Structure 1
Amino acid sequence: MLFEWIAAARPKTLGAAIAPVVVGSVLGWKISGQWSTWLLLCTLASALALQIATNWFNDVLDFMKGADTHARLGPRRITASGVMSPRAVFTAAWFMLALAALLSVPLIQARGVAIIVIGIPSLYFCYGYTGGPMPLAYRGLGELFVILFFGFVAVTGSAFVQSGEWLEGGLIAGFQVGCLSTVLIAINNLRDQAEDRSTGKRTLAVRFGITFARLEITALILLAHLAGLYWWQHDFPRAFTVPLATVPVGLFLILRIWTQPPGPSYNRLLALSGMQLLLFAALFCWGVSRTHLTPL
């Protein structure tokens, strides 16, 4: 039973919650000199709770909308497979949202109303990604959501929690992490393009086709590294050069999506893209920690 819940949380995607928090926190620490392990742990746990809630809402809402069919190529969904009832999955997702909100209390105490301002939309879009009057995933807005909330908001917000400042560098790092986080959903949508088309889920891969989706993934990987030139130009060269070690992983992903038709093999690519994101974040943090930084 526990294994089923863990699988439904989609561990391969949880790097999208971990990477921006760690990157933003390290960046905020190096620029301000302030560090709080307690605030880092609360931020990280809250982000993970939001990510898991989003995945569980997606599980049950896709089932209720008829988007999960027998043709599904991705991992088994616990609602569609009948392992869990829709009510149970809904309850678990709402519980994770409540937990995320509770974990944000220390952040609000430390940094004030700004955390509420960015936290409320984050809570809503965990559900609004696949539910509500305009579900983002069904309107081709999933990639935009990821790059905004798992990139810009998560990185700059985490940097703000540590430093108490809104940092220009946080926006650049947020764009980089956001691009690589978006690769996960873009690969997922490319894999599911045929099924999504048949069920009316209008992702970008459905709207514009397989070639567009491949170009999108290619551009996201390349732009994540090109944006790193900012760090080179601002005398933080290691923040640019060290993460370049992940380029071979990105090139391998690009090669595979262009030479393999969408199918079950993309599940491995999804896992690899999650590894790429975490490796990039780790190397970026190492590069930043080894550089003498001045305020951006």
Structure 2
Amino acid sequence: MENDVKTNSPRAWLLAARPKTLSAAAVPVMVGSALAAADLSADFQVLPCVLCFLFAFIMQIDANFINDYFDFRKGSDRTDRLGPERACAQGWITPRAMQGGIVVTTLLACVAGLPLLWIGGWELLLVGAVCVLFAFLYTLGLSYRGWGDVLVLVFFGWVPVCFTYYLQTGGWTWASVVCATACGLVIDTLLMVNNFRDRDQDRISGKRTVVVRWGARAGSTGYLWLGFLSCVGCLSLVAGGYLWAAILPQFYLLLHIRTWQLMVSLHQGRALNRVLGMTARNIFLFGLLLTVGLLLQCLG
């Protein structure tokens, strides 16, 4: 049981890393790589793809550590927390050890990103620096001011998809922007359901999320439309000849709508953690369907 976790043990660090969130880091790189493979065919290189996955995974873990530590220091992870338990708040990881973990994962992300500079050019140094900077700024203030959804679109959509594609092709296309936007929107459903569940606690903590500002109905409606807009965006890929990439993601909508219906019926409380898990599954399914659709282009 998680209550029996030994302080600073390997299991404690595994729980703090939140491995279930890694699907949100994987999906944009999957999609960007698949689009590059569709456009390059035999010229596609595996190494940039692997390095992008590595950087994305480490940065996601780093962001989780940063969020865990600073929310604990701010007192946001109180005893009335409804979401999954956090490592510092539960005593699984001491604050001092978490500080060390943040330093290590930040350095590891930088090391993983260094070879990408050789592949894509030194201008990518700025991109990596911005990723690290906003991993801190998100928890230190931006998420408390309602910027979380915009940052998800940028750092789980445009940045990872477009730059994964750029490292392979040396440029961008309208299709890469469409895929990036679709990924960012669908991944934002995870943040939306989190904020929907935590709206009362966030209001007490002074966290002015979209749901806190505009209400629960706006949160549930926003969740539904994020999924719809992702799929509508994919339909536009038909114009570029990516037929399967336009069609396959539409099957995601079936699960998305059912998950939204459960979200609305539960409305509040810890039961919404079930919706959170279903949403993470749906995001991965969307990414997988879009990836497969793009890869089928290689066979056409």
- Kindly state the Cα deviation for residue 113 of structure 1 after the two structures are TM-superposed: 2.2
Q: Tell me the residue number matched to 2:92.
A: 83
Structure 1 SS opposite 2:90 = coil
CA displacement at 1:292 relative to structure 2: 5.3
Could you say what secondary structure the match of 1:276 adopts? helix
Q: 1: CA distance between counterparts of 2:299 and 2:131?
A: 30
Alignment pair present for 1:49 and 2:58: yes
Offset of 1:293 from its aligned partner? 9.4
Match of residue 82, structure 2, among 50, 73, 98: 73
Cα distance, 1:277 vs. partner? 1.3
Structure 2 counterpart of 1:22: 30
Structure 2: runs of 5+ lacking an equivalent: 1-8
Is contact 1:62-1:130 (8 Å) kept? yes
Q: Which shows bigger deviation, 177-186 or 5-14? A: 5-14
Question: Is 1:195–2:204 an aligned residue pair?
Answer: no
1:126 aligns with 2:113: no
The structure carrying a bigger helix percent of its residues is: 2
Q: Is there any run of 5+ residues in structure 1 with no aligned partner, and where?
A: none
The 5 Å alignment of 1:3-22 reads 3-22=11-30
Check conservation: 2:13, 2:93, Cα contact below 8 A.
Answer: no
Residue 114 of structure 1 is aligned with which of 123, 132, 135? 123
TM-score (norm 2): 0.93
* CA–CA separation in structure 2 for the residues paired with 1:130 and 1:293: 44
RMSD: 1.5
Query: Match of 1:59, as an amino acid?
Result: D
Report how far residue 80 of structure 1 moved.
1.1
Answer whether contact 2:175 2:240 (CA < 8 A) is retained.
Answer: no
Query: Aligned pairs, how many?
Result: 291
Quick one: which amino acid aligns to residue 204 of structure 2? S
**What SS is found at the alignment partner of 2:13?**
helix
How far is the alpha carbon of 1:32 from its aligned partner?
2.5
CA contact (8 A) 1:152 1:175 kept: yes
Q: Percent identity?
A: 31
TM-score normalised according to structure 1 size: 0.94
1:268 aligned to which of 268, 274, 278: 274
- The offset of 1:67, in angstroms, is 0.7
Deviates more, 1:80-89 or 1:182-191: 80-89
Matched residue, 2:290: 284
In 2, Cα distance between equivalents of 1:23 and 1:115: 20
Equivalent position of 2:6 in the other structure: none
Contact 2:37–2:298, Cα closer than 8 Å, also in 1: no
Contact 1:26 1:285 in 2 (8 A): yes
Comparing 57-66 and 29-38, the one that deviates more? 29-38
Deviation, 1:15, is 1.1
